[in-house]
Homo-oligomer: A and B are copies of this chain.
Amino acid sequence: MLTDIEIARSVKLRNIADVAGEMGIAPDQLEIYGHYMAKVPVKYIDKGKMSRHHLVLVTAISPTKAGNGKTTVSVGLALGMNRLGKKTIVALREPSLGPCFGMKGGAAGGGYAQVLPMDKINLHFTGDFHAITTANNMISALLDNYIHQHEGEGFRLKQKLWRRVLDINDRSLRQVITGLGGPGNGPISQTGFDITPASEIMAIMCLATSIDDLHRRIENILLGFTYDDKPFTVKDLGVAGSITVLLKDAFDPNLVQTTEGTPAFVHCGPFANIAHGCNSVVATEMALTLGDYVVTEAGFGADLGAEKFYNIKCRKTGLHPDLTVLVVTAQALKMHGGVDYEVIKKPNVEGVRRGLWNLDKHVRNIKRFGQSIVVAFNHYSFDTPEEIAVVRDHCINDLGVGFAVNDAFSQGGEGAASLARAVVDAVEHNPSGPLRLSYEDSDSIEHKIEAIAMGIYGAGKVTCDAPARAMLKRIYSLGLGHYPVCIAKTQYSFSTDAKAYGNTDGYDFQVRDLVIDRGAEMIVVIAGNILRMPGLPKSPQACRIDLVGGEIMGLS
């Protein structure tokens, strides 16, 4: 089979104006980037139309390092549904350059179920992440400058909370000291860089519902505390307007196309382990305005992305999926069944069977939210019929949920026909009931953390380190206890230990720190050893990406 980028290149792309035109958007309303990408103004969102359309969430069991192919299934499902005559738009998250040049690769789907042009989407795309990085770091520069310029008048911050970001995996920026070299370069700060998807600006872009809301949220960003314990915000810095200006164009959702020429929105929001990991509200709403069905995704396993999709994105917007599709792979089941990572591509029916506990736990969790479920078995070439049969039998007979095999990677929409039928059938005849969230706004932050850690992850108890306890006091004194929690945790285990595969029920959930995202209106809970700035592996993908005869190689 061809590589992802070879397939991407082999597809004859439609002009993006034609793709938009079919949805009723005139070419002069688009901000076009090249021939195949465009931004659609947020004014096209129409709540009346949205309410008549269907939303399907795609999530997954706990992934391997290579992921479960959730984006591939999302694209494939949309292709399959379009072939059934259902006008379906896929709404995805934008890839980060970090994993693209690091280990995991790009995030534009794979095989014959990709969003295109995949090289542009995986690289600079329409510049959204660059705008977010710039806005974040412009605030940093303006904040340090404010301190520098006003320290003669006695202004100082007791606690500076704002960090810089880059959309690069760079472990040596996790902890840095800035402002060295004398008072002309000050103030001296012990600080660090996170990866751009972890920026509060990213979360704000994902959750804001209009440019005015974006501006309001930017004003509210908490940068630190003064010596008299007053919060110091972007509004105090006087630059919310110029930061909004930097983000204005990036805020409009990006329209691209699938390998079969159907529309796809790709906008913000990767990394459900260190962020909320869903694409932007405006992109989902735009897709729901323009399509009868919308397939969207939430990052990593359902414990991370789907939980945040329901408890944060749906809570804040009133969105509610008609169905949740749970992606499962034989490889991931084998890994959860104790099979060594090196041999998970080898046939091992018993390994698959031993890993079903992970599927079961995700199914139980998703059902708690009141969701109907279809399990999508994402088929790899080395999976055996026996392995598939074990999962199919378990889903239908033991769990009583829908099941279908997805072959979109190798066959495009045709390979997702049975999955598409299962999804449409479930939405039409057995849709989800009302969304049941895990906690009320009015619950305490501690209760909210417990609701997720114990109720979803299976922790036995929650402990808080000193920095987290101190921040908890800040949260209550600022009157922010009504925010939802966004838990930053490893994607590899239900526990906070990335290496603890298998059942970890009853473990101790350690809260290391809390971050107040007052613009995004949520509390980020740093659990265990999760790092908000990834590192690169010994042999990064950057060593294999190349330009050969004008063609990009090595992107996947």
Among A306-314, A325-333, A429-437, A536-544, the stretch that binds chain B is: A536-544
User: Which residues on the B side are within 8 Å of A215 (C-beta)?
Assistant: 547
- Contact bitstring A443-457, B, C-beta under 8 A = 1, else 0: 000000000000000
Find out whether the CB atom of B124 lies under 8 angstroms from the CB atom of A550.
no
CA distance A555 to B538 in the complex (A): 45
Find out whether the CB atom of B34 lies under 8 angstroms from the CB atom of A141.
no
User: Which residues on the B side are within 8 Å of A181 (C-beta)?
Assistant: 174-175, 192
Residue of B nearest to A239 (CB): B542
Residue of B nearest to A177 (CB): B177
Assuming the contacts A124-B249, A538-B149, asked whether A545 and B185 have C-beta atoms less than 8 A apart, the reply is no
User: Which residues on the B side are within 8 Å of A231 (C-beta)?
Assistant: none
Find out whether the CB atom of B145 lies under 8 angstroms from the CB atom of A535.
yes
Q: Which of B133, B176, B249 contacts A180 (CB 8 A)?
A: B176
Find out whether the CB atom of A145 lies under 8 angstroms from the CB atom of B540.
yes
- Contact bitstring A524-556, B, C-beta under 8 A = 1, else 0: 000000000001111011111111101011110
Find out whether the CB atom of A241 lies under 8 angstroms from the CB atom of B545.
yes
State whether the Cβ of A242 lies closer than 8 Å to any Cβ in chain B: yes
Residue of B nearest to A98 (CB): B141
Chain B nearest CB, measured from A544 CB (Å): 8
Residue of B nearest to A168 (CB): B141
User: Which residues on the B side are within 8 Å of A179 (C-beta)?
Assistant: 171-172, 175-176
Find out whether the CB atom of B149 lies under 8 angstroms from the CB atom of A172.
no
User: Which residues on the B side are within 8 Å of A169 (C-beta)?
Assistant: 141, 145
Residue of B nearest to A249 (CB): B124
User: Which residues on the B side are within 8 Å of A138 (C-beta)?
Assistant: 97, 101, 168, 542
State whether the Cβ of A130 lies closer than 8 Å to any Cβ in chain B: yes
Chain B nearest CB, measured from A34 CB (Å): 5
Find out whether the CB atom of A184 lies under 8 angstroms from the CB atom of B211.
no
Assuming the contacts A130-B130, A168-B137, asked whether A173 and B178 have C-beta atoms less than 8 A apart, the reply is yes
Q: What bracket does the count of chain A residues touching chain B fall in?
A: 35 or more
User: Which residues on the B side are within 8 Å of A239 (C-beta)?
Assistant: 540, 542-543
State whether the Cβ of A144 lies closer than 8 Å to any Cβ in chain B: yes
Find out whether the CB atom of A170 lies under 8 angstroms from the CB atom of B149.
no
- Contact bitstring A125-157, B, C-beta under 8 A = 1, else 0: 001001101100110111011001100000000
Q: Which of B142, B144, B243, B545 contacts A242 (CB 8 A)?
A: B545
How many monomers of this protein are in the complex?
Answer: 2
CA distance A134 to B33 in the complex (A): 20
State whether the Cβ of A52 lies closer than 8 Å to any Cβ in chain B: no
User: Which residues on the B side are within 8 Å of A546 (C-beta)?
Assistant: 241-242, 244-245
Find out whether the CB atom of B547 lies under 8 angstroms from the CB atom of A241.
yes
User: Which residues on the B side are within 8 Å of A241 (C-beta)?
Assistant: 545-548, 553-554
- Most B CB contacts (10 A, CB to CB) among A190, A546, A553, A554 go to A546
User: Which residues on the B side are within 8 Å of A248 (C-beta)?
Assistant: 547, 552
Name A341-397 residues within 8 Å CB distance of B: none
CA distance A517 to B108 in the complex (A): 36
Find out whether the CB atom of B177 lies under 8 angstroms from the CB atom of A176.
yes
Find out whether the CB atom of A242 lies under 8 angstroms from the CB atom of B542.
yes
Find out whether the CB atom of A32 lies under 8 angstroms from the CB atom of B34.
yes
CA distance A120 to B149 in the complex (A): 30
User: Which residues on the B side are within 8 Å of A168 (C-beta)?
Assistant: 134, 137-138, 141
State whether the Cβ of A292 lies closer than 8 Å to any Cβ in chain B: no
Chain B nearest CB, measured from A473 CB (Å): 25
State whether the Cβ of A260 lies closer than 8 Å to any Cβ in chain B: no
Name A198-256 residues within 8 Å CB distance of B: 211, 215, 238-239, 241-246, 248-249
10 A-B contacts (beta carbon < 8 Å): A97-B134, A97-B138, A124-B131, A127-B130, A130-B134, A141-B170, A145-B535, A171-B186, A241-B545, A241-B554
A: residues with CB less than 8 A from B are 28, 31-35, 97, 101, 120, 123-124, 127, 130-131, 133-134, 137-138, 140-142, 144-145, 148-149, 166-181, 184-187, 189-190, 192, 211, 215, 238-239, 241-246, 248-249, 535-538, 540-548, 550, 552-555
